[in-house]
Structure 1
């Protein structure tokens, strides 16, 4: 068994951690499961015991061969593919399933965004990420860790940090601590605007974090400061605040005003 640095492979080998993931992070109900990046299958061996229909998505051909030698098709569907190209609807149709995975650090954000976009086919996700990323995901307005990732995840799901995982739980050992997060999908209370426009405004706001919101929105949306000030004042937002000080529903207010002016 080789860990390939290019694929960001750090294999979870601690049985106690694996058992906690199953016990605290995976629903007891019999719903479809998909595991992202099973590697040599340490977590997979416990997941198949649940008798849920289970898919394992693995990019590394060598690990796919290992899994195929150990598991049978009636207990596990092994797919050799890039998880960023997976549409969970292709696995379980119009049902809703649950995603489990130790996400490679180097593509954590793209993977999270990819599956958040498929939230209508997921009941939730239990993912292990770098602790720093977990802190960003759970951060609220006023925190330096709060940003686009925080907003994207919290808009789609309730976030529960389950526990931290030390480097010694992996082989080879990473240089950082990890955190297991449980994300339960749900509509964000009170959110009712166009998501694409909403995220255009959020990205503009966070493009230059050190600048005030009036400056970042003006530059990012291509409008004058006077126009930006008018939008912010109508939304009840201080133009001197920074992007990290503004909550989701306040960004929605900006979006709704922006959309009304565009008509």
Structure 2
């Protein structure tokens, strides 16, 4: 299909469409509508979609990125929480690409467990910034058909997702994303391509599915160890995991059995090491896992 600007939504069309629908972007839903065709096509190009590939989009809003995905020949299923926007987006796509393969699901993405049609192999989305990490991790968990993900998130969050052990920003989102994928930051997006312009910078993160660590510990148990290890980042693992194992002495025994120095901090460990620690935990204590500064990645 020819790359004509009229195929996508521009700034004036975004405002006009929002006005006709009575939509005012809300911080509660993390709504910042992308209106720049060049940025849309950049995202689609980086995603590397194949014609006919089944793609899931979370939070399509007024449909800017959706139209770019459809234009590229993807088969798109969009998850939209706002009933007004969900009702409009199918009409927007139909008007510009009448022969497209497109479906919309009215739901909170956190509640979606199945999707219509073929299993999606790619997730491409401008995620609502206030729930970006939980949505990302939930989609990776529930849809193991996803081979790769390209999401636009707050730049700071993008860096944390792609962070490596030993860095100051390495934490819960980094480790949990690494359970499912290898991640890297692949681009920066300016504020002026959104309406309204956000107060933060945005970035693209590309994640490729990989096999989870080979371990006898279930994912939930590994993630509980991760949450606890980062609840108080400045503590050594011996101290941080004392409550989970019953005492500092028990935590030290478990850590040594896992081949981990009890005196190091969680920010130095790769996900495979957290898995080995979780293998030493026979039964999870009946208590709530501590909430850390990295709580946005707690799922």
The TM-score with structure 2 as length reference comes to: 0.79
SS in 2 for 1:257: coil
Q: Which residue of structure 2 lines up, in the alignment, with residue 80 of structure 1?
A: 106
Summarize the alignment of residues 96-175 of structure 1 with structure 2, pairs less than 5 Å apart: 96-175=120-199
Q: 1:162 to 1:191 in 2, by over 3 A?
A: farther
Please state how far the C-alpha of 1:233 moved relative to its aligned partner: 2.0
Please state how far the C-alpha of 1:139 moved relative to its aligned partner: 1.0
CA contact (8 A) 1:119 1:156 kept: no
Cα RMSD, aligned residues only: 2.1
- Identify which of 222, 225, 247 aligns with 2:270: 247
Q: How many residues align?
A: 258
Q: Deviations over 1:198-229 (max 9, x none)?
A: 1121112112112111011012x141222211
Quick check: which one's helix share is greater?
1
Q: Which residue of structure 1 lines up, in the alignment, with residue 30 of structure 2?
A: 8
Q: 1:187 to 1:62 in 2, by over 3 A?
A: same
- Identify which of 225, 231, 234 aligns with 2:254: 231
CA contact (8 A) 2:125 2:150 kept: yes
The TM-score with structure 1 as length reference comes to: 0.90
Query: What CA distance in whole angstroms lies between the structure 1 residues aligned with 2:265 and 2:280?
Result: 19
- Tell me, which stretches of 5 or more residues in structure 1 are unaligned? none
Q: 1:134 to 1:58 in 2, by over 3 A?
A: same
Query: What CA distance in whole angstroms lies between the structure 2 residues aligned with 1:246 and 1:52?
Result: 38
Q: Deviations over 1:140-174 (max 9, x none)?
A: 11112111111111110121322010111111101
Please state how far the C-alpha of 1:21 moved relative to its aligned partner: 0.5
Query: What CA distance in whole angstroms lies between the structure 2 residues aligned with 1:90 and 1:7?
Result: 22
Query: What CA distance in whole angstroms lies between the structure 2 residues aligned with 1:51 and 1:29?
Result: 5
Q: Please, which moves more after superposition, 179-188 or 44-53? A: 44-53
2:69 maps to 1:43: no
Q: 1:124 to 1:3 in 2, by over 3 A?
A: same
2:226 maps to 1:202: yes
Please state how far the C-alpha of 1:96 moved relative to its aligned partner: 4.3
2:113 maps to 1:91: no
SS in 2 for 1:7: coil
Q: Deviations over 1:114-156 (max 9, x none)?
A: 1121241212211100010011111111112111111111110
CA contact (8 A) 1:119 1:185 kept: no
Runs of 4+ residues over 4 Å off in structure 1: 189-192
Please state how far the C-alpha of 1:66 moved relative to its aligned partner: 2.8
Q: Which residue of structure 1 lines up, in the alignment, with residue 209 of structure 2?
A: 185
Query: What CA distance in whole angstroms lies between the structure 2 residues aligned with 1:119 and 1:160?
Result: 20
CA contact (8 A) 2:245 2:281 kept: no
Please state how far the C-alpha of 1:27 moved relative to its aligned partner: 2.1
Q: 1:239 to 1:59 in 2, by over 3 A?
A: same
